[in-house]
Structures are given as structure tokens and as C-alpha cells.
Amino acid sequence: MLKLKKKSTLREKKLFFLFFFLFLASSLFSQEAVYVFPDVKDKIGKHFPIEYFKDSNGENYSSNFLEGKNSIINFWFTNCEPCHLEIPYLQKLQQDLGDKVNFIGITFDNKEKVKNFTEKKKLNFLQITESLEGMKKYGINRYPMSFIIDKKGNVKMIFGIVNDSRIDDIQNLLLSE
């Protein structure tokens, strides 16, 4: 009878650890899918300050520039290797979604460097360059970092690199009302 009790206790311990591990793993993965950068989650649901950034004429964008279409805003720079890895996925999103969505890249790199890079990589969406001041003001300090903005100009989601595991979710969010 003593042997039976030991087996039962061992089995219970194994089951406990199995369920604990599964719970922990599911919690971590579900949070990662929603907020890759927990320190910026307070931006979700709030206006994206496009007015912090300047157009090619040096004028600040209007605060309502993003209204009317969902947008993806990708913060990046030319020497960022992870930023290079997401380019094919951004291109696929743009190819699939076309003009239904605003595609915007924002970088602190200068206009000429970005122009050469985007021509070489065949990136053909709006690039807002020389934006270090606006990026610092908004608290952007990691790359790549992307924001999905809703039709009202509010942040819907923030995530890191655009890759194969996220592309379907990103596309669905960009097509949602």
C-alpha cells in the first residue's frame, strides 16, 4: 500500500508540473502576440502623433493625416539587420493590400541614404526621414518597431519585426474596421 501512495504522489507531481508549464508557456506566448514591447502598451488606443514628423518640404504633418485609412508605420534604419529581414514581408503586405492601407516608414537616416537603400531594396512606400527628434519625443528607441493605426489615427497594435508568423494577423488587423 505504501508503494501505491508513492506512485500516486509522483504522478500528481508530474501532472502538476505539466499543467504549470503549459499554463506558463501559453501566458507568455499570448502576451508576446499582443505586446512585444510592454513599456509602450500605454500608447495603444491613443492618437499616433504624426504631427511630430515632417514631410519632404520640412512641414509637420497634420494631426489628421492618417485619418480615413488604416495604416502601418514601421520604425527602422538602414543599418538595422532585423529591419532588412522584414522587408519581404512588408513588400508582400503592400502588394496584397495596395492602396487600402497607408504604408509609412519612419527613420532617423538622411533622405539620400534612405533613397539609395529603398531603390536598391525596391521599397516604394512613403518614407519619413531625418526624424530622430520626433522619434525621441514619442519614445521610439528600438528597431524595428511597427504600429498599426486605425482609420481614426489611433494606435491599434505595436509589435517588433514583421515576419511569417505575424503577417496574417497584421493583414487582418489592417483590413478590419
Q: What is the pLDDT of residues 65-112, one digit of tens each?
A: 999 999 999 999 999 999 999 999 999 999 999 999 999 999 999 999
Write the CA distances from 48 to 105, 152, 171, integer angstroms.
Answer: 14, 10, 19
Stretch (H or E) spanning 121: helix 111-121
CA distance 50 to 13: 54
Sort 130 into a burial class: Cβ within 10 Å, 0-12 / 13-18 / 19+: middle
What would the pLDDT profile of 9-41 be if each residue is shown by its tens digit? 666 655 544 444 444 444 333 333 344 677 888
What would the pLDDT profile of 40-71 be if each residue is shown by its tens digit? 889 999 999 999 999 999 999 999 999 999 99
Share of the chain above pLDDT 90, in %: 76
pLDDT at 176 over 80: yes
User: In 3D, which of 158, 167, 26 has the Cα closest to residue 94?
Assistant: 167
CATH class of 38-175: alpha beta
pTM, entire model: 0.79
- Beta-carbon neighbour count of residue 23 at 10 Å? 10
